[in-house]
Structure 1
Amino acid sequence: MKYFNVTVMDKGRKRLELLKANSKMAAVSLAKQKFPTTMVMKAVETSAPLEDSISQLLSGLQKSMKSKIPINDKISTIRQIAVMTDAGIPINDTLVEVAENTENKQLKEIYATINNDINAGNSISDAIEPYTEEFGHVAIAMTNLGERTGNISESYHKLADILENIRDNTAKFKKAIRTPLITLAAMGIAFTILIMVVVPKFKDIFDKFKTELPVPTKILLSLEWALSNYGLLILAILIAIFFGVKFMYKNNEEFKYQMDKMMIHPRFYLINKAIFLSTMHKYNLVFGELVKSGIPVSEALETAVGMVDNAAIKEQLLTVNVNIGRGMNLAEAFQLTGLYENMLLQMIKAGEAGGQLDAMLDKVTGYYDMQFQDLIDNLAAYIEPILLFFIAGLVLLMALGIFMPMWDLGKAVKG
């Protein structure tokens, strides 16, 4: 939401009204509704009031400090609900049992609240809707489906399968990048220790040289001076930058969008491909499962795009439902996003024409899963040259920085 200073004419006198709206036109429309006896002159975008800025900051901090519910706990409780309802146990008794058995305090409170809401006369989907952020859009969609079909058990079994698939791929990706990250961190620590311990021992010798020191030596001496005098400050700044970026990413939509857009840029070798393939696999997996379960395409698209974390990719996928509403078929709408290969578009088009869209979406999901698994399985081979280049660069800098002045001194003595 943006803030606008709206100028209105009331009984021949102008006054300013501060309004929140998504756009300038929306602010003007809102002003006309709130002040029907006045004439709206203009609307100018302005910064948020100090109290609102502080309130947003505090709410953002509270939100970021709130612990995220582990996906394993969610899958466990969802699977338990599916099994118990399949056995014919009433949903109220099921939720009470699940709330008592789970060790996660947040889930205990959530399921107890949902049960109370159901006892008060609300439907299951209405009771779970306030917890969309905790469970995800797909959980809401599958709950709605279970209510419509009268088969919560089957819907929740499918929901658990979807979440397990997403969890396994996420875990596999994290495991694949763990070793390279540990290697980089170890090299960084080792290089810092060498600079702090080894370089000072040669510093006095270098100071006695009458000749110009080589560039690698100057770099090492500069690094040693910076770390010796401002090491803790540099560390504090790096930590502050890390948490600052993390906070902005979670709480500032424009910053998140720019970061997400940057991360899928071709310049980010491997990272862009991993993010793209995992996102497209998750999107098509959820979309395909929802269509297969009987949810209308439009509703399935809306739910599936809610599962997309990357804001730049999400922006492109949001156009699909809009274009379908304008009369396009699914393949044409997907083509306009620029995210799908021609082969996949032809498969979707054939599925639509033959009434086998769900089967074709399974194949599309399988294709993205195959590409993602191939990337993860060969990630070590892809990253190895980069790590070797990085390690060689650090070793070369250290060696040249220390030994080049020695060689120059030896030449001078011989001369």
Structure 2
Amino acid sequence: MAIYLFKGRNADGRVVNGQIEAANTDAAANQLLGRGITPVSMDEQIVKLSLSERFERSANLGKVESVELIMFCRQMYTISKSGIPLVKGLRGLAASLRNYTFQRALEDIIERLETGVELSTAMRFHPKIFNNLFVSMMSVGESSGRLDLVFKQLGEYMERDLNTTKSIKTALRYPTFVLIAITIAMGVINIKVIPAFAGLFANFGAKLPLPTRILMGISEFFVAYWVYMVVIVVGGIAWFLHYTKTPEGSRWWGQKKLRLIVVGDIIERATLARYARSFGLMLNAGLPISNALELCARAIDNNYLGDKIRGIRAGIERGEGLYQTHLVSGMFTPLVLQMISVGEESGQVDTLLGEVAEFYEREVEYDTKLLGDRIEPLMIVVMAGFVIILALGIFLPMWDMYSIQKQ
């Protein structure tokens, strides 16, 4: 795609100037004619790019963040509600985007729309940006003629989901940094500090205390085999990341991370909040229950719970009710099950699922605020144990040396 500076006349005969982005001059002229402008002259503009921008464009390494998709949904809601034609609105958004990957995707969608393809079908060609949930909601919006409402609902859904994810990451940031700092400190002490004291203690000639002998043995092991340890750790991490991407590994990790100390329960409730929010959103949009459940199983990003949701779907297809299938899944508390039962009886399942999502989200928000208070004592105990072992191992023989010198 290139940018062309044009000069032309509109329907009233007045001279207009501006710039337009197109694959070539013919495409640019066709776009102008479609806007009611007769081109008089057209010159390609040379855009100077930085080295990083050139590399990104050549390799197309850009990533579309959740914040950018939320802003896209908000802008498209405004555009759709105000009655601006879809292609014209998308073209204006594409021209204002800084993310080259997202811009290219929208330009491709615009080209497909101009050939008569539907928006949901055009978005399906960019699965890394628009997932199955997004595409399915677009399809429902097109069928019902409420595309503006769908964009609004998707924007609100993604914003809540992003806020929950951010709150969990923020709560885990402090303990993660502490553990990394302790690991680095242990490596430096074992490789640099303890060997220096070992030479001093060797001249002492007396029998060293047990904590000191343990520390020196660990230090000698680190010094002799640190290269192999690094290789094993890096290889183990690489194997773990690869294994969790396999179907079996993702299910195993999906179950295990729900049982992690302190944070596992928060992760489970945040995942269930995402399920309830997305399920209610799709039911409100008019998707069939069976299709909505399958999309929810993919959207929650946990294959272990995804299998349970597919079990709910299988029960629904056998003719069982929502309450019964959710009860059998074992995923929800009695209070949440009662809310689902009331929603099923009153015919307001989507509304009650929204209440379930808010219930879980409030719990997650409250627990993430207390997460630091829960983890801090554990961190203090770990650091205290590390300092005590180090102090005993190094200072006990030094006290013995001081006592002998006094005699």
Q: TM-score range by the shorter chain?
A: 0.7 to 0.9
**Which of 184, 189, 193 is residue 188 of structure 2 equivalent to?**
193
**Which of 278, 283, 299 is residue 307 of structure 1 equivalent to?**
299
Q: 1:186 deviation in Å?
A: 2.1
**Which of 251, 257, 280 is residue 251 of structure 2 equivalent to?**
257
Contact 1:286 1:304 in 2 (8 A): yes
**Which of 175, 190, 197 is residue 202 of structure 1 equivalent to?**
197
Aligned to 2:270: 278
Q: Does 1:328 align with 2:320?
A: yes
Q: Can you list the C-alpha shifts for 1:30-83, whole angstroms capped at 9, x where unaligned?
A: xxxxxxxxxxxxxxxxxxxxxxxxxxxxxxxxxxx9654211112222222221
How many residues are treated as equivalent by the alignment? 348
Q: 1:409 deviation in Å?
A: 5.6
Q: Does 1:183 align with 2:178?
A: yes
Deviates more, 1:214-223 or 1:78-87: 214-223
Deviates more, 1:375-384 or 1:358-367: 358-367
Supply the distance in 2 between the matched residues of 1:327 and 1:301 (Cα, whole angstroms). 15
Alpha carbons of 1:67 and 1:231: their partners in 2 closer, same or farther (altered >3 Å)?
A: farther
Aligned to 1:108: 103
Supply the distance in 2 between the matched residues of 1:309 and 1:218 (Cα, whole angstroms). 48
Q: 1:274 deviation in Å?
A: 2.1
Supply the distance in 1 between the matched residues of 2:386 and 2:66 (Cα, whole angstroms). 39
Q: Can you list the C-alpha shifts for 1:238-273, whole angstroms capped at 9, x where unaligned?
A: 3343344224433x22222222222223xx212311
Please list every run of 5 or more consecutive structure 2 residues that lacks an aligned counterpart in the other structure: 1-59
Supply the distance in 1 between the matched residues of 2:120 and 2:296 (Cα, whole angstroms). 17
Residues 114-153 of structure 1 mapped to structure 2, 5 A cutoff: 114-153=109-148
Kindly provide the amino acid, as one letter, of the partner of residue 258 in structure 1: W
Supply the distance in 1 between the matched residues of 2:61 and 2:209 (Cα, whole angstroms). 52
Contact 2:297 2:303 in 1 (8 A): no
Q: 1:176 deviation in Å?
A: 1.3
Q: 1:328 deviation in Å?
A: 0.6
Q: 1:156 deviation in Å?
A: 0.5
Alpha carbons of 1:280 and 1:120: their partners in 2 closer, same or farther (altered >3 Å)?
A: same
TM-score of the superposed pair, with normalisation by structure 2: 0.79
TM-score of the superposed pair, with normalisation by structure 1: 0.77
Kindly provide the amino acid, as one letter, of the partner of residue 204 in structure 1: G
Aligned to 1:8: none
Contact 2:124 2:130 in 1 (8 A): no
Aligned to 2:367: 375
Q: 1:149 deviation in Å?
A: 1.2
Contact 1:138 1:159 in 2 (8 A): no
**Which of 386, 394, 398 is residue 390 of structure 2 equivalent to?**
398
Kindly provide the amino acid, as one letter, of the partner of residue 180 in structure 1: P
Q: Does 1:92 align with 2:87?
A: yes
Contact 2:297 2:310 in 1 (8 A): yes
**Which of 283, 287, 290 is residue 279 of structure 2 equivalent to?**
287
Supply the distance in 2 between the matched residues of 1:100 and 1:240 (Cα, whole angstroms). 44
Q: 1:319 deviation in Å?
A: 0.7
Q: Can you list the C-alpha shifts for 1:66-118, whole angstroms capped at 9, x where unaligned?
A: 65421111222222222112221111112222222211122112112222222
Report SS of the residue matched to 2:125: helix
Supply the distance in 2 between the matched residues of 1:215 and 1:315 (Cα, whole angstroms). 52
Alpha carbons of 1:67 and 1:308: their partners in 2 closer, same or farther (altered >3 Å)?
A: farther
Aligned to 2:149: 154
Supply the distance in 2 between the matched residues of 1:67 and 1:258 (Cα, whole angstroms). 31
Supply the distance in 2 between the matched residues of 1:249 and 1:238 (Cα, whole angstroms). 16
Aligned to 1:49: none
Q: Can you list the C-alpha shifts for 1:335-374, whole angstroms capped at 9, x where unaligned?
A: 1111011121111111111222222212211211121111
Contact 1:284 1:364 in 2 (8 A): yes
Report SS of the residue matched to 1:339: coil
Deviates more, 1:314-323 or 1:403-412: 403-412
Supply the distance in 2 between the matched residues of 1:410 and 1:196 (Cα, whole angstroms). 26
Kindly provide the amino acid, as one letter, of the partner of residue 355 in structure 1: G
Residues 63-74 of structure 1 mapped to structure 2, 5 A cutoff: 68-74=63-69
Q: 1:394 deviation in Å?
A: 0.7
Supply the distance in 2 between the matched residues of 1:68 and 1:263 (Cα, whole angstroms). 26
Aligned to 1:29: none
Supply the distance in 2 between the matched residues of 1:382 and 1:68 (Cα, whole angstroms). 35
Contact 1:77 1:102 in 2 (8 A): no
Report SS of the residue matched to 2:299: coil
Residues 43-62 of structure 1 mapped to structure 2, 5 A cutoff: none
Kindly provide the amino acid, as one letter, of the partner of residue 132 in structure 1: P
Alpha carbons of 1:105 and 1:215: their partners in 2 closer, same or farther (altered >3 Å)?
A: farther
Aligned to 1:345: 337
Supply the distance in 1 between the matched residues of 2:322 and 2:137 (Cα, whole angstroms). 22
Alpha carbons of 1:156 and 1:367: their partners in 2 closer, same or farther (altered >3 Å)?
A: same
